[in-house]
Amino acid sequence: MANCLSSIFLAISVTTIVMPVTADTVSGMVYADGTALADVVVTATPSNYTGKAAQTETESVSMALDQKSREFVPHVLAVRTGTPVFFPNSDDIRHHVYSFSQAKRFELKLYKGTPKVPIVFNHPGIVALGCNIHDWMLGYIFVTDSPYLTKTDVFGHWSLELPKGNYQIVFWHSDSTAVSGLTGESIHVPLDRPLHHNLNLKARRQSGKPPNSLQVQGYKDGF
């Protein structure tokens, strides 16, 4: 988790370095029903931004999405378009990771260790990950053209270093009731106040974690 988060910050800092403009910190909190909400992807896109040009300015930093104790870690990974993602398997059992989301369709047969070749996410969109062996496993890769991206931590907190200007801020959460899970607003940087957002979540949610009883975890009737 920490490694992946640091990769995000690394990606952000790389972006920041190549843009020789002083940056201001914009931060905020995301809640759902008054409770801090983790794993909300936050992106900031300058209003005059043309994604393609900016993308060539940075080299893609590879990232990783692990499988630990039969769940995807992190549950949500935010990457820029074109980012290679490694899928290590830290469990000593097999995983069979797949996605048939339109943004990226792939299948990875994983047994111990890390595959040598990463999966490159070339199209923006939401990639839902599953495991053919463990039905409950669920993870997301949020692929975006935006140059600035981060995720809320367990306290619902996020922050981004943004150069002065106008931005479209977008929030995404897998269980948000908003269309495609996306909500947003326009801001001007510098901003002298934190941004507080409240998201409405679906009533029934999949955690992506193993069932909390071995009765259900240890059996598949095959249907």
Partner 1 sequence: MSMCQSIGRYELLVKIVLIGFSIPGEAKPDFLDFSVHGLLDLRYQNLDAQPGETEHGLGKFRSGGDNNRLLVNEASLVLQSRLGWDWSGTITLKYANKQYNPLDLSEIFLNYRPVSTSAWQISGRLGMFFPPISLENTGTAWSSPYTLSSSAVNSWVGEELRSFGGEARLNYQVDTGDRLGLFAAGLAKNDAAGILLAWRGWSLGDYEATLQDHLRLPENIGIRSQFPRQAILTQPFVEVDGKPGYYAGVTAERANLYSLRALYYDNRANPAAITNGQYAWHTRFYSLGLKAELPWDLTLISQGMSGRTSMGEMIDSKYAVDAGFWASSILLSKSFRDHRLSLRHDRFGTDENDYLPQDINREQGYAWTANYNLTLAKRHQFNFEISRIVSDRPARVSLSQTSQQEETLWQIAYRLFF
Interface with partner 1 includes 35 (CB under 8 A)? Answer: no
Size of the site for partner 1 (CB under 8 A): 29
Distance CA 112, CA 188 (A): 47
Q: Which is nearer to partner 1, 56 or 215 (CB)?
A: 215
> Taking CB under 8 A as the rule, does residue 132 contact partner 1?
yes
If one asks whether residue 117 binds partner 1 (CB under 8 A), the answer comes out as no
* The binder of partner 1 chosen from 98, 125, 190, 209 (CB under 8 A): 98
72 C-beta neighbours (distance < 10 Å), count? 24
Surface-to-core class of residue 197, CB atoms within 10 Å of its CB (0-12 exposed, 13-18 middle, 19+ buried): buried
Phi/psi for 54 (5° steps) reads -65, -35
């996306």: which residue's tokens?
A: 182
> Is 17 near partner 1 (CB under 8 A)?
no
CB of 73 to partner 1, least distance (A): 20
**CA–CA separation, 7 vs 13, rounded Å?**
10
- Contact call for residue 113 and partner 1 (CB under 8 A): no
Report strand pairing: 138-144 vs 104-110.
unpaired
Considering the complex, what minimum distance in angstroms separates the CB of residue 137 from partner 1?
11
Q: Does residue number 179 form part of the binding site for partner 1 (CB under 8 A)?
A: no
Is 177 a residue that touches partner 1 (CB under 8 A)?
no
| Residue 99 is a binding residue for partner 1 (CB under 8 A) | yes
Kind of pairing, strands 83-86 and 63-64?
parallel
Q: Which residues bind partner 1 (CB under 8 A)?
A: 93-94, 96, 98-100, 105-107, 109, 132-133, 135, 203-206, 212-223
